[in-house]
Amino acid sequence: MGGTVAIVTGAGSGLGRAVALALGRAGYAVVLAGRRRDPLDAVAAEIDNALAVETDVTDPASVDRLFARVAAVHGRLDLLFNNAGIFTPAAPVDAVRLADWRASLDTNLTGAFLCTQGAFRMMKAQVPRGGRIINNGSVSAQVPRPHSAPYAATKHAMTGLTRATSLDGRPHDIACGQIDVGNAATEMTQGFAAGVRQADGSLKQEPMMAARHVADAVVYMAGLPLSANVQFLTLTATTMPYIGRG
């Protein structure tokens, strides 16, 4: 049994790694979920109480194995950070490949849904019952970038999943919130500093912020009692194109 237990998906790199390390420092037993074993093991080596579980969030059987492992090792779950996500190649909506559309939906949305189901079932049944789910929404859940239909659609849908989970969780002491992040410096966003497509078609460098600020915000959201919930939190690099995408 391991105290307060958290699952972080996409934990081997980027925001997942930053959040997992921050939760570990805050005293959580952290379950690291991701497709690549080596990065998971590297993160686990930096956390006092960590468990690495290879997981493909697009595969229901893989997700089931993740939650079965958590139940076997820890006996409960207090926090899920739904973070796993991908970018697909930039393209105007009429040129998006169906394979890219489906890949984005499978990872960014269906993956979050499957993990939400697993967490919800566990939190609902455990004693004491309840827990918290935090979804990584992105500011693209509010305003899209040009040529990003698959990503923007999945992140807008994430907001719907957050709201529905929050509502369905009320009778079971399950809180659900969402953090919408803009321009945190990670492997996925390293190209932003070189130039990002703007609404007027130009390419411009964009300001970035450290991933640790996002991690600190997630730890704050996670640390609230279940009687309180941050429903939506938007955290951006201060001068990035966001308000009006300008």
pLDDT for 175 beyond 70: yes
Please check whether residue 20 is in contact with residue 8, taking contact to mean a CB–CB distance below 8 angstroms.
yes
pLDDT of residue 208: 85
pLDDT of residue 23: 98
The pairing of strands 5-9 and 29-34 is parallel
For the chain, where are the alpha helices, taking DSSP H only?
14-25, 37-44, 60-73, 98-104, 111-125, 149-169, 211-223
Spatial separation of the C-alpha atoms in residues 139 and 155, rounded to whole Å: 8
Spatial separation of the C-alpha atoms in residues 222 and 181, rounded to whole Å: 16
**Hey, what domains does the chain have and what are their CATH numbers?**
5-245 (3.40.50.720)
Lowest mean pLDDT among 13-17, 165-169, 186-190, 202-206: 186-190
Residue 217 identity: A
pLDDT of residue 126: 98
Mean pLDDT of 144-165: 96
pLDDT 10s digits, 131-141: 999 999 999 99
- Respond yes or no: is residue 151 known to be catalytic: yes
Supply the mean pLDDT for the chain. Answer: 94
pLDDT of residue 240: 87
Residue 22 pLDDT class (50, 70, 90 cuts): very high
pLDDT of residue 245: 64
pLDDT 10s digits, 76-124: 999 999 999 999 999 999 999 999 999 999 999 999 999 999 999 999 9
pLDDT of residue 222: 98
pLDDT 10s digits, 106-117: 999 999 999 999
pLDDT of residue 2: 43
Residue 1 pLDDT class (50, 70, 90 cuts): very low
Residue 23 vs residues 17, 74, 79, 215: alpha-carbon distances, Å? 10, 16, 10, 8
Q: Out of 28, 151, 220, 242, which one is annotated catalytic?
A: 151
**DSSP letter string over 88-114?**
---B-GGG--HHHHHHHIIIIIIHHHH
Is residue 31 classed as helix, strand or coil in its secondary structure?
strand
Mean pLDDT of 6-10: 98
**Cα-Cα-Cα-Cα dihedral sign, residues 13, 132, 141, 184:** negative
pLDDT 10s digits, 180-210: 999 888 876 667 767 888 788 888 878 889 9
